[in-house]
Structure 1
Amino acid sequence: MPTTVVVGASRGIGYQFIQTLAAEGNTVIATARNVADLEGNVKADKIPNTHVVQADLTSADSLIAAAKATSSLVNGQIDHLLINGAFLSSTGGMNPTDFADKAELFLEELKKSVEANIAGPLFAINAFLPLLRAGKEKRVTYISSGVAYVPETIDTRIANSVPYSVSKAGGNIVIAKFAAELQDEGFTFLSIAPGGVATEAMTDMSKFTDEEKAKMQVMLGRMMQKYPEWKGLISPEECVKRILNVVKNSKVEQSGQFLSYWGNTTQWL
Structure 2
Amino acid sequence: MPTTVVVGASRGIGYQFIQTIAAAQGNTVIATARNVVNLENKVRADKIPNTHVVQADLTSADAMKAAAKATSSLVNGQIDHLIINGAFLSSTGGMNPTDFADKPELFLEELKKSDEANIAGPLFAINAFLPLLRAGKEKRVTYISSGVADVPETIETRITNSVPYSASKAGGNIIITKFAAELQDEGFTFLSIAPGAVATETLMDTSNLTDKEKAKMQVMFGRMMQKYPEWKGPISPEESVKRILSVVKNSKAEQSGQFLSYWGNTTQWL
The bucket for the TM-score relative to the shorter chain is over 0.9
Q: What does residue range 41-80 of structure 1 map to in structure 2 within 5 Å?
A: 41-80=42-81
d(CA) in 2 for partners of 1:166, 1:193: 14
Task: Write the deviation string for residues 125-158 of structure 1: whole angstroms up to 9, x where unpaired.
Answer: 0000000000000000000000000000000000
**3-state DSSP class of the match of 1:77?**
coil
> Match for residue 232 of structure 2?
231
Report the equivalent of 1:261.
262
SS in 2 for 1:141: strand
User: How far did 1:92 drift?
Assistant: 0.2
Aligned length: 269
State the shift of 1:24 in Å.
1.1
What's the CA shift string for 1:76-135, capped at 9, x where partnerless? 000000000000000000000000000000000000000000000000000000000000
Structure 2 unmatched runs, 5+: none
TM-score for both structures, normalised by structure 2: 0.99
2-structure distance, mates of 1:260, 1:102: 33
Q: For residue 138 of structure 1, what is the aligned residue in structure 2?
A: 139
1:252 paired residue number: 253
1:14 aligns with 2:14: yes
Q: CA RMSD in A?
A: 0.3
Measure, in 1, the Cα distance between the counterparts of 2:132 and 2:149. Answer: 29
The residue number in structure 2 matching 1:205 is 206
- Alpha-carbon shift at residue 186 of structure 1 (Å): 0.1
- C-alpha distance in 2 between matches for 1:188 and 1:244: 13
TM-score computed with the length of structure 1 as normaliser: 1.00
Please give the secondary structure, in 2, of the residue aligned with 1:92: coil
Tell me which amino acid in the other structure corresponds to 2:136: G
Matched with 2:2 is: 2
Corresponding residue for 1:178?
179
Q: Please list every run of at least 4 consecutive aligned residues from structure 1 whose deviation after the TM superposition is greater than 3 angstroms.
A: none
For 1:120, the equivalent position in structure 2 comes to 121
- Deviation track 1:186-219 (CA, whole Å, cap 9, x = no partner) reads 0000000000000001101101110100000000
Letter in 2 for 1:232: G
Cα separation, 2, equivalents of 1:76 and 1:257: 28
Deviations 1:211-243 (A, max 9, x none): 100000000000000000101100000000000
- Deviation at residue 170 of structure 1 after TM alignment: 0.1
Residue 113 of structure 2 aligns to a residue whose secondary structure is helix
**Aligned partner of 2:204: which letter?**
T
Deviations 1:48-68 (A, max 9, x none): 000000000000000000000
What residue identity is the alignment partner of 2:2? P
Equivalences for residues 145-184 of structure 1 within 5 A: 145-184=146-185
1:253 Cα deviation after fit? 0.7
Corresponding residue number in structure 2 for 1:93: 94
Give distance in 1, aligned partners of 2:31 and 2:151: 32
Q: Distance in 2 between matches of 1:109 and 1:254?
A: 32
- Percent pairwise identity: 88
Q: Which moved more, 1:20-29 or 1:134-143?
A: 20-29
